Structure 1
Amino acid sequence: MANPLPYYRVLRDQHPVYYLPKWDTYALSRFADIWDVLAINDGTFVPSEGTLPAATVLARHHDGPVPDPPLHPMPFHANFDSPLYEDVRRCTSGQFRARTAATFADRIRRLANDRLDALLPLGSFDLTQDYGGIVAASMVCELVGLPVELAPDVLATVNAGSLAEPGSGVEVANARPGYLEYLTPIIERRRAGAGPPLAIADNLIDYRLPDGSGLTDTEAAVQMLGVFIGGTETVPKIVAHGLWELLRHPGQLAAVRADLDANVPVAREEMIRYCAPAQWFARTLRKPFTLHGTTINPGQRIITLLGSAARDDREYVNPGDFHWDRRSARILSFGRGTHFCLGVHLARLEITILVTEWLKRVPEFSVREEAASRPPSSFQWGWNTVPVDVGVAA
């Protein structure tokens, strides 16, 4: 994970279905294979062991299909197959539909400019954390019912949760108590009728499982993790890395600046393809599946290497190069199929606004590349730290 790109190329060219005997797991590395596999929704590939299983989970080998987890204590709903997964997802999805997400544009723009007002006079700051990170975390706070003043703490908590020593796996469960310290009290307050209506929390409180039971406060809070983590972590890394790529290519930066309203949405798609930090997601097989002459059996797993797919020259021309005006017919950075990213519309809106407002107000900037860092993680390859120096600000 220090630099997976050379390994991805070897996998794509020589081992498109690569077996990892220690984990009884196959890695898929080609865009077309991952695109097709993630579209299959007939129960062949299920997330019953989690979409980011820890090393302790992968160490268990199975002789056959793995059942869904028990309803109680209920894990994150992404561990379930249809229809339970979709039912719980609907409790949290209302504010993320395209039309509703668009209504947040003015708020995101104000948050972005408030951050720029505070940061630009400093001359030096962190592009990932101090700019995009605080804006994204502020939006998450508002969506889940937390005071926006907690945005820096939420951002720090989420960043810490994705760190891992090499070989240890993500171990999200270790960070979960920290997440739930924010989320469980929200459920408790709404269940007691305190505070204004809050769609996500209220829907989860009212939800009933197939056996007729409801979610406990902790179980309901766990279902909010997708919004809490995903909404905080991805956008800032894409924005910081994407602006850095434009800086590395002055001609491209000038072209985007020439018409921000028209060109930033185009550049955004290349930033998403090229800069998205998530590298892989897992599924466990419930039915046999054959790919490139290899049959994967029930109980075995696959990991879909999204980061590899984004660099597949079978799908893209010169995919290792950043081209702001690349027109990509297909992108896998937000996933595909049943587990397609819940917040994709809001994420695209945030990226567009954060990049646009930056380019409007920052005529000159530089990155202190020696101080930029990608901390260890077995799941993502993203720039957590991108220190910048800015010129005269508008």
Structure 2
Amino acid sequence: MNQPVLQDFTYDPFDPDVMADPLPYYRVLRDHHPVYYIPKWDTYALSRFEDIWQVLGLTDGTFVASEGTLPAANVLSEHNSGPVADPPLHPMPFHANFDSPIYENVRRCTSAQFRPRSAAKLADRIRTLANERLDELLPRGTFDLTQDYGGIVAAAMVCEFVGLPVDLASEVLATVNAGSLAQPGEGVEVGNARPGYLSYLTPIVEQRRAEGADGSCPIADSLINFRLPDGSAFSDMEAAIQMLGVFIGGTETVPKITASGLWQLAQRPDQLAAVRADLEANVPVAREEIIRYAAPAQWFARTARRPYAIHGTTINPGQRIITLLGSAARDEREYSDPDQFIWNRPIERLLSFGRGQHFCLGVHVARLEITIMIQEFLKRVGDYRIIAESALRPPSSFQWGWNSIPVEV
């Protein structure tokens, strides 16, 4: 950009132009405004990889998520005069809004199936689901990689995690997709329990409580049996709200990354051929570059509880930061030639799944799902063509990913 444009430069994650394509804004922020103040929201945007890596790695309570990790504009419009306390225990919001130890203790209720050893045992099930979808889709000749393939497989796994019938996968996918759409100027607050989500989750809790919550449905049963520091338990709705991270996160991101990866490879026949040469060994390598290049999550927020100095700027208690993960993934200080897709790029660090206290709960399952879905697709499909003119990536302040990638096989 030339100097006059720089002089007039403004950044707001809810600006329609930013929501349509944030990447040019990220470059200007990284190069000229690594700590960019947005007066309207009393919020600082951090855009460089190393700065975000350091901030998210803090575990001393300097930054907290008490206003949500993805606050909407109506939350940010209320400026704070000092540190923000944790929310009250009841009615309990999504547990990510709490600091230690409540956050970690509730998170453990939902984490057992996502630990590395447990996740590894899911490979056969994921492979079965992927091939069942391909059995149905390939005879059609054309279908949608995001919605029809990756979306249904990921949503089916989420159904099994939370205790829903797998045949509800398409409904769950549609509900989550609709809930993530944002209007310019507003954004999305994932922590707010939308009625559509709870219509699936609350009945699960009610049924499990009636049946005794004996552990056979691990997430719901653990939440029912959990006790807060004051000895109180979750209501059915409060327990259902704690399941939102699995319900939304497990459904939304993986399909977009998987479909985008197959598209990036299709655009580069030499790289696709290299990956095909040994799918078992090479897809996990390519997966990391696909995640870096195509992960749709753009930013997460924190609120300062203690002063924090960075690049000569002091962020005061009550002020917010947004850590621009989408910018960090394209930071030339961390990755050489970052706007290029290079399937076997050496990647030492990634921020696409976050870092620190709020590191993605389902990271091991997500990596496994992406790997298996790409492997099974490439095993069974020779030539394929992305119908690029029909691909759809709606404007978004957060999940800026390809909601639709049609393919012809």
TM-score (norm 2): 0.94
For the 8 Å contact 1:270–1:322, the answer to whether it is kept is: yes
Shift of residue 174, structure 1, vs aligned partner: 6.7
Residue of structure 1 in register with 2:187 after alignment: 169
Shift of residue 343, structure 1, vs aligned partner: 0.2
Alignment partner of 2:294 out of 262, 269, 275: 275
Deviation by residue 1:146-194 (Cα, 9 ceiling, x = unmatched): 0000000000000011101111111446761100000000000000017
Q: In the alignment, residue 290 of structure 2 is paired with which amino acid?
A: M
Q: In the alignment, residue 231 of structure 1 is paired with which amino acid?
A: G
Whether 1:227 aligns to 2:246 is: yes
Whether 1:31 aligns to 2:49 is: yes
Q: 2-side partners of 1:4 and 1:53: how far apart?
A: 18
Deviation by residue 1:60-91 (Cα, 9 ceiling, x = unmatched): 00110011000000000000011100000000
Matched ranges for 1:367-382 at <5 A = 367-382=386-401
Whether 1:387 aligns to 2:401 is: no
Residue of structure 1 in register with 2:169 after alignment: 151
For the 8 Å contact 2:296–2:399, the answer to whether it is kept is: yes
Residue of structure 2 in register with 1:91 after alignment: 109
Residue of structure 2 in register with 1:304 after alignment: 323
Residue of structure 1 in register with 2:217 after alignment: 198
For the 8 Å contact 2:193–2:241, the answer to whether it is kept is: no
Alignment partner of 1:43 out of 40, 52, 61: 61
Matched ranges for 1:1-394 at <5 A = 1-172=19-190, 176-193=194-211, 197-390=216-409
Q: In the alignment, residue 248 of structure 1 is paired with which amino acid?
A: Q
Residue of structure 1 in register with 2:11 after alignment: none
For the 8 Å contact 2:94–2:191, the answer to whether it is kept is: no
Q: 1-side partners of 2:391 and 2:350: how far apart?
A: 26
Q: 2-side partners of 1:86 and 1:108: how far apart?
A: 28
Q: 2-side partners of 1:349 and 1:172: how far apart?
A: 24
Q: In the alignment, residue 42 of structure 2 is paired with which amino acid?
A: D
Q: In the alignment, residue 190 of structure 1 is paired with which amino acid?
A: R
Q: 2-side partners of 1:242 and 1:350: how far apart?
A: 13
Q: 2-side partners of 1:145 and 1:93: how far apart?
A: 15
* Cα distance change of structure 1 residues 15 and 68 upon mapping to structure 2, 3 Å threshold: same
- 3-state SS of the aligned residue for 1:380? coil
Q: 1-side partners of 2:311 and 2:96: how far apart?
A: 28
Mark the runs of 5 or more structure 1 residues left unpaired by the alignment.
Answer: none
- 3-state SS of the aligned residue for 2:211? coil
Q: Which runs of 4+ in 1 moved over 3 A?
A: 171-175
Q: 1-side partners of 2:294 and 2:191: how far apart?
A: 26
For the 8 Å contact 1:97–1:345, the answer to whether it is kept is: yes
For the 8 Å contact 1:52–1:281, the answer to whether it is kept is: yes
Shift of residue 3, structure 1, vs aligned partner: 1.0
For the 8 Å contact 2:73–2:186, the answer to whether it is kept is: yes
For the 8 Å contact 2:21–2:395, the answer to whether it is kept is: no
Shift of residue 370, structure 1, vs aligned partner: 1.0
Shift of residue 92, structure 1, vs aligned partner: 0.4
Q: In the alignment, residue 30 of structure 1 is paired with which amino acid?
A: R
Shift of residue 270, structure 1, vs aligned partner: 0.4
For the 8 Å contact 1:164–1:171, the answer to whether it is kept is: no
Shift of residue 376, structure 1, vs aligned partner: 2.6
For the 8 Å contact 1:28–1:34, the answer to whether it is kept is: yes
Q: In the alignment, residue 262 of structure 1 is paired with which amino acid?
A: A
- The size of the alignment, in residue pairs, is 390
Q: In the alignment, residue 226 of structure 1 is paired with which amino acid?
A: G
Q: 2-side partners of 1:175 and 1:347: how far apart?
A: 23
TM-score (norm 1): 0.98
Q: 2-side partners of 1:327 and 1:202: how far apart?
A: 41
